[in-house]
Structure 1
Amino acid sequence: MKTAIWLYLFLFVAFFDLHAQYPILTPFALSLGAAPSFIGLMMGLYSITHLPGNLIAGYSVDRFGSRLFIVFSLLLAGVILLLQSQVTNPWQLLVLRSISGFVLAFLSPACMAMLAKMARNQLEQGKLMAGNGVVHNLASVVSPAAGAFLVAQIGFTQAFYLLGWILIVVSLCALLFLRNDADSPAPSEPMSHTEAKSKATRPATIPWLLYSLPVAMACAQGILSFELPLMAFKSGGLMTTGLLFSLVSLGSLITLSMFFLNRYSPYYRSIGGAVVLALTYFLMAAHHELPLSVMLLMLGMAKGVIFPALSSLLIELSGGQRYGRTFSILSIAFSIGAFAGPLLAGQFRELISPYFIAFLVLMAAIIILPFHRNQAVSARTHFT
């Protein structure tokens, strides 16, 4: 568990650093002369360049362990931020953000695989995944407002420069204090040769369309990440943007802290959270009388239910094998959705509310999911 504590500490600093950029990237791009459609393209390319990194990470993490890729990802992301502090036009920012998307694609699969390998059973895996969610959201509650405050005090250039050096220092600490997990066995009970062979085939039983939900969630989040800074920047400035993003993370932290939810089926938790998420986006599209702050808190609470439920469901269906590949596919699903979201919002925001697009995408994923529940149950029954 000592390694888990170090990993949580590094993840907190890394997530804090990365989320601090969310409310300031759009205003920074606008200050360079970028149009909203260009910003949508930039955010989309950042996500789509995750894909080759996710594909490489899936096989490499299983073979070589997580430590190397965590250090590599954080170090290069820090160097890119140092270069980003010196950009003078939107195209330079576009190139650097695209490269950043590739190098950061290794971070999530590597961390999730390392956490999964630390546990001795599925109960411990669930606790470690929940801990990852808590650390992530603790960092993201305060970091958007902190990033906005930082820019207000020292400007864009110095803010990116400082954030870059923080990531570089964290990467060097990870190199010193994290041990490699390439040889760590996946948690399992003693079993016969036939059972072992059966279990090894389980990763192939995960229904591909089960990943429709993370695609839809990331698409909706991409729309929010594109739309919210534009709206808030026009009305309230950087501090307002940072506080609004912090509200979403605070909502996630509330439901992540409700540990009793882990007693319920991860499938039904995913469905329930997705329904609430979709309905909240519908209320935002309809300009409902509810305050924006309340709706953002609801969005965060729904996400706090879905994320650990999805991780638990995938771990269960993976059969305790090939965690790197399982979580890399999950990251790919998030990357595809995060690419589509800002692109759709940038192109169609004059014709239709981007929040209504988020509602439609989420509802489509919810309609598909019940069929996959049957497939997943059939697959598990077949191999047990």
Structure 2
Amino acid sequence: MKRLLYGIVMLCFMDLFIQLPVMGPFAKSLGAGSFVIGLAVGLYSLTNMFGNIAAGYWIDRYGARAILLLGFVLTAGVMLLYPLVTQPLHLIIVRFIHGLTGGLLVPSAFTLVSHYASGQLPGRAMALSGAAVGAAAIVGPAVAGITKAQLGLTPLFIGTSILLALGALLSAVAVPASRVKQITRKLQSSSPHSMTGFEVILRKRPVVQSYIGAFSLMFAMGALTYALPLKVDELGFSAQISGLLLSTFGVVAIIVFVLPSNRWFDRISPLTLMYSGGAVIMLALLLLSFSNDQMAMFAVMGFYGFGFSLLFPSMNALLVNNVSAESKGRAFGLFYAFFSLGVVAGSSGIGALTANYDIALRIAAGFILLAGCVVASLQYAELKGKEKEAS
């Protein structure tokens, strides 16, 4: 069952990674200007946040399996709208809807994984889930590029819809009813718009630390995806080098996730691994900003992948270990909302601050350092509070 769930995680992320390389050129082919092209690319992540939060609430109310199935069905349907798009405004509308429906998928899948890992090896389970994400990050853009070149965009969109429909079929037939319990009577009797459940989750220090890790990691990724192609182009490297550099970090992360090294995530404190991963990523971003040699850049991206492999499972495990079963849907919904927000802030925010790719990478490194200091200060404040209570 767990292996099937990792496959479902991969299908959820294929929805994201297949569209990434083609959406900008698709918007341009419709006659969109640079602003609308950027909006078409980024709007998915923006509305995805709202889908994540809604998914979190519904998962705890109706079960992760039901929301996962709904997300697959709706998103498969939305993919069939893309071939009907004939002007930029239509594309913006479809991207808006796609972000909302796609936001239902990832929190549902990770909630299911977390329940099957509960009481066993949550760190290892999250590492293997990370391998599924990494596989989607490598396979998705490659499939998109090949399909677009050989068959065109319409078959790509239809094929992606079929892939998501397959995910819906697997969820309906092979995944048992979610172990997520129905929400408590007290919460059920509250207003449908009540945020009480989210407030309770956000009062937990480890959960907040996990969210800070999620936001900072994807802030760095957003900055990297903004700055790296610009740097590669400026240095005169071939166009495919950007993709190969990003694939290098993904391959290294997957290797760490699937090898016996994934036992680290249940033997070492999640916070220790988070600090270590953040330090590696910060150093990698700084090194990348000073590197102009192609081979050195590949080595640094491999180092970045190692940092990613430490940070991603550990912050997931920190979340799993500190939320109750009936709150995991909302917890993962918020977690991936911070993921989406981090991507938008990292790419658009740093892009608005500077056009210099090296400075952008250094700003991202500084942000990782700041996030680490905030996480450490939260831990320090809690320890001081416990000391006062003891005295």
Q: TM over 0.5, yes or no?
A: yes
What is the alpha-carbon distance in structure 1 between the residues aligned to residue 115 and residue 314 of structure 2? 18
Q: Which residue of 2 aligns with 1:371?
A: 377
Q: Which residue of 2 aligns with 1:248?
A: 249
Aligned partner of residue 81 in structure 2, secondary structure: helix
TM-score (norm. length: structure 1): 0.83
Q: Which of residues 301, 309, 319 in structure 2 aligns to 1:314?
A: 319
Q: Which residue of 2 aligns with 1:297?
A: 302
Q: Which residue of 2 aligns with 1:272?
A: 276
Q: Does 1:141 align with 2:145?
A: no
Letter in 2 for 1:259: N
CA 1:368–1:204 in structure 2 vs 1: closer, same or farther (change >3 Å)? closer
Q: Which residue of 2 aligns with 1:47?
A: 45
TM-score (norm. length: structure 2): 0.81
Q: Which residue of 1 aligns with 2:187?
A: none
Q: Which residue of 1 aligns with 2:193?
A: none
Q: Give how far 1:228 is off.
A: 4.5
1:127-185 per-position Cα deviation (integer Å, ceiling 9, x unaligned):
32222122222332333223222222222332222222221232233222222215559
Letter in 2 for 1:334: F
Q: Does 1:347 align with 2:344?
A: no
Aligned partner of residue 20 in structure 1, secondary structure: helix
Q: Give how far 1:330 is off.
A: 1.0
Q: Which residue of 2 aligns with 1:335?
A: 340
What is the alpha-carbon distance in structure 1 between the residues aligned to residue 174 and residue 386 of structure 2? 38
Q: Does 1:360 align with 2:366?
A: yes
More deviation in 8-17 or 326-335?
8-17
Contact in 2 for aligned 1:71/1:175 (Cα 8 Å): yes
Contact in 2 for aligned 1:48/1:336 (Cα 8 Å): yes
Contact in 1 for aligned 2:205/2:379 (Cα 8 Å): no
Contact in 1 for aligned 2:13/2:106 (Cα 8 Å): no
More deviation in 262-271 or 11-20?
11-20
More deviation in 345-354 or 74-83?
345-354
Give 1:16-31 correspondences, 5 Å limit. Answer: 16-31=14-29
1:207-239 per-position Cα deviation (integer Å, ceiling 9, x unaligned):
5752222112112212333444566689645x5
Q: Which residue of 2 aligns with 1:206?
A: 205
Q: Give how far 1:242 is off.
A: 4.2
What is the alpha-carbon distance in structure 1 between the residues aligned to residue 73 and residue 338 of structure 2? 25
Q: Which residue of 1 aligns with 2:153?
A: 156
Q: Give how far 1:120 is off.
A: 4.9
CA 1:282–1:119 in structure 2 vs 1: closer, same or farther (change >3 Å)? closer
What is the alpha-carbon distance in structure 1 between the residues aligned to residue 385 and residue 68 of structure 2? 33
Contact in 1 for aligned 2:65/2:108 (Cα 8 Å): yes
Contact in 2 for aligned 1:117/1:184 (Cα 8 Å): no
Q: Which residue of 2 aligns with 1:68?
A: 66
More deviation in 69-78 or 36-45?
36-45
CA 1:30–1:53 in structure 2 vs 1: closer, same or farther (change >3 Å)? same
Aligned partner of residue 85 in structure 1, secondary structure: helix
Q: Does 1:115 align with 2:116?
A: no
Q: Which residue of 2 aligns with 1:197?
A: none
Contact in 1 for aligned 2:181/2:326 (Cα 8 Å): no
Contact in 2 for aligned 1:82/1:161 (Cα 8 Å): yes
What is the alpha-carbon distance in structure 1 between the residues aligned to residue 139 and residue 247 of structure 2? 6
1:221-275 per-position Cα deviation (integer Å, ceiling 9, x unaligned):
12333444566689645x5554343223112112223224222111011111111
Aligned partner of residue 86 in structure 2, secondary structure: coil
Aligned partner of residue 322 in structure 1, secondary structure: helix
Letter in 1 for 2:327: R
What is the alpha-carbon distance in structure 2 between the residues aligned to residue 280 and residue 156 of structure 1? 36
Q: Which residue of 2 aligns with 1:7?
A: 5
What is the alpha-carbon distance in structure 1 between the residues aligned to residue 257 and residue 16 of structure 2? 20
Alignment RMSD? 3.1
What is the alpha-carbon distance in structure 2 between the residues aligned to residue 129 and residue 33 of structure 1? 42
Aligned partner of residue 317 in structure 1, secondary structure: coil
Contact in 2 for aligned 1:42/1:94 (Cα 8 Å): yes
More deviation in 64-73 or 315-324?
315-324
Letter in 1 for 2:145: A
CA 1:243–1:149 in structure 2 vs 1: closer, same or farther (change >3 Å)? farther
Letter in 2 for 1:61: I
Q: Which residue of 2 aligns with 1:168?
A: 165
What is the alpha-carbon distance in structure 1 between the residues aligned to residue 31 and residue 238 of structure 2? 20
Contact in 2 for aligned 1:214/1:333 (Cα 8 Å): yes
What is the alpha-carbon distance in structure 2 between the residues aligned to residue 29 and residue 310 of structure 1? 35
What is the alpha-carbon distance in structure 2 between the residues aligned to residue 357 and residue 283 of structure 1? 13
What is the alpha-carbon distance in structure 2 between the residues aligned to residue 376 and residue 172 of structure 1? 46
Identity of aligned residues (%): 26
Contact in 2 for aligned 1:22/1:144 (Cα 8 Å): yes
Q: Give how far 1:74 is off.
A: 1.7
Aligned partner of residue 110 in structure 2, secondary structure: helix
Contact in 1 for aligned 2:206/2:319 (Cα 8 Å): no
What is the alpha-carbon distance in structure 2 between the residues aligned to residue 67 and residue 182 of structure 1? 9
